[in-house]
Amino acid sequence: MWVAGEAGRRRYVQAAVGVEDADIVEIGRPQLDGLRVAGAGPATAPMPASLPTVLYAPTRDLAAGEPIVRALLESEPPVRVLYRPHPPTGHRSPEDHAAHRRIAALIQAANERRAAEALAADAPGKDGLGKDALAADALPPDALGEAPGDTDTPHAEAARHRAELTKRIAALDARLRRADADEAMLTRDRAAPDPALLTEAEGLRREWHQAHWAASPPWLHQVIEGDTPTLHSCFDQADLLIGDPSDVVGDFLATLKPYALTTPAGIGEEEFRRRHVMARAAYPLGPGASGMDNLLRPLFDPSLDELRTARHEVKEFLLGPATPPSIQRFTNAVDALAEKGEAVVRLRDLHTASPPGAGRWSITR
């Protein structure tokens, strides 16, 4: 039985479901090895942001997210907000869908205000970000009308490149998943994909993400709907995550960056931490975004981050140690299991092999 860390091992032992402790192997989470870890330098090359970036990634109860987003947008000093709800979240109920649209409207209005401020700051005799305000992704097409701008800015060029990559990725996906293929054909193709096509697709998607972030001014808030940019790409951009107890926060733990958990009304902080292991290293954010000031303070003064050590401890408990890397532990586990399987096959063949001379005719004179 393979688990990520000590927490997974304890779950199986305590559940007493017939899994022996000796059969449990801790392999970490290989999918998270490529994430940018705080203090370790970028694993990828995200665009630097002039403002701290807060990722709000709820998986439930979007109505509770309105005061959170409002507080972030009104923060002083200011921050950049990435709002990425779990894809089904905004469609589970009419209430969630309505809350999602209200949050998106708050963010659009905040972007319009920032763009107007940037344009004003770029007036003659002032140093500002006027060209950024007219960048391809700065605002919806009709937000400022047909304001004249420099279409050769780096942001505009990145947006054009992203559009080209989107077309190339769609064409490549069509080759990987033929429209005329039935389920049996798709299953067969997934079992033996073309390595060259997979490598090309991975490279194009990596390039698309770089172009996406480069297409926006570094102060631009973003509403991210659907599968792209990916959650892990958003992790690399973020300096802080706000979420609820979920696998999203569990994966973000691998970055060792600060995170906050929204706490429901009627549950004390001590009880909340008892119920959720990841809450032991989280800044609590109560109903109505209470606790936001305390949460944002470490973004501007890292010495105020009181939970740095706790995050290391919780990460190791849930995801395993940082070294050796998860992918190495996973590979070692695969090799060990393959070797064990081969030994079983050899033992089976030994017991089922015919004895010497069996099946041959013997002639006795």
pLDDT in tens, 267-277: 888 899 999 99
Residue 302 CA, chain-centre distance (Å), reads 23
Distance CA 258, CA 268 (A): 21
pLDDT band at residue 184 under the 50/70/90 scheme: confident
- Asked if residue 229 has a cis previous peptide bond (ω within 30° of 0), the answer is yes
- Model confidence at 316, pLDDT cuts 50, 70, 90, reads very high
The one-letter amino acid code at 158 reads A
pLDDT at position 359 over 70 = no
Query: What angle separates helix 308-319 from helix 6-15, to the nearest 10 degrees?
Result: 50
| Cα dihedral 254, 257, 258, 259 in deg (nearest 10) | -40
Q: What is residue 124's predicted lDDT score, i.e. its pLDDT?
A: 52
| Burial class of 283 by CB neighbour count within 10 A (0 to 12, 13 to 18, 19+) | buried
Tell me the C-alpha distance between 253 and 314, whole Å. 8
**Is the pLDDT score of 5 beyond 70?**
yes
pLDDT exceeds 80 at position 91? no
Q: What is the pLDDT at residue 14?
A: 86
DSSP annotation of 54 reads: E
Which region among 4-8, 131-135, 278-282, 289-293 has the lowest average model confidence (pLDDT)? Answer: 131-135
Asked if the model's pLDDT at residue 90 lies above 70, the reply is no
Query: For residue 270, what pLDDT is reported?
Result: 87
More confident call, 266 vs 298: 298
Domains along the chain with CATH numbers: 2-319 (3.40.50.2000)
Nearest of 23, 111, 17, 97 to residue 65 by alpha carbon: 97
Instruction: Lowest mean pLDDT of 9-13, 110-114, 161-165, 234-238, name the range.
Output: 9-13
pLDDT in the model for residue 142: 41
Q: What is the DSSP string of 179-208?
A: TT--HHHHHHHHHS--HHHHHHHHHHHHHH
* Distance separating alpha carbons of residues 236 and 36, to the nearest angstrom: 5
Length of the chain: 365
pLDDT tops 60 at residue 355: yes
CA-CA distance, 129 to 120, in Å (whole number)? 9
Asked whether the bond before 324 is cis by omega within 30 degrees of 0, the reply is yes
What are 224's two structure tokens?
A: 């991210």
pLDDT digits (tens, 9 = 90+) for 124-180: 544 445 555 445 565 544 443 333 345 568 889 999 999 999 999 998 888 777 666
Percent of the chain at pLDDT exceeding 90: 51
CA 135/CA 155 separation, integer angstroms: 6
Question: Which among 206, 286, 283 has a CA at the least distance from the CA of 240?
Answer: 283
Mean pLDDT, the chain, rounded, equals 84
Mean pLDDT of 194-205: 87
CA gap 308, 281 in Å, rounded: 8
pTM of the model: 0.82
Average pLDDT on 304-312 reads 95
Is 285 in contact with 259 (CB distance < 8 Å)?
no
Tokens in use for 28? 């970490």
